Amino acid sequence: MVESEAARLPAALPGTSAAKPGGVEQIANALKFAADVAVLPGSSRIVEGDLGRGLLYAGGGILSRYLLPGAFGAFGWVAIGLDAFSVSSSGKHLWELGSRQRAKPPVDEDLSTAS
């Protein structure tokens, strides 16, 4: 008997929920993505009511776009926009998305008596 593909795949990635986003949430995320990358970085944060962080992202995007030469400015705009979208949709910065929380090894508190 052949297993279905859904049965072989894990229910969810570690640290995520098993529920898939609904159609309305997918459309909202697509609009956030377009607004953060193409219109103004941080615009999704501003619309959600987080004015302070949204303005910081917007300022960073504008500064990188107009102060960095050539393609570096466009790259900075897109990178800041992608990070703003990532925080808006998942609550994590881009550099936090792939990291996993590692359990710290237990520490032996009585190391002074070990010889």
Residue 9 has pLDDT above 50, yes or no: no
Residue 62 has pLDDT above 80, yes or no: yes
Segment 13-47, tens digit of pLDDT: 455 555 677 888 889 889 999 999 999 999 999 98
Q: Specify whether the CB–CB gap between 46 and 61 falls below 8 A.
A: no
Segment 64-114, tens digit of pLDDT: 999 998 899 899 999 999 999 999 888 888 888 876 655 455 555 555 555
Token pair in block for residue 70: 């050539």
pLDDT at residue 100 in the model: 66
Query: What's the predicted TM-score (pTM) here?
Result: 0.65
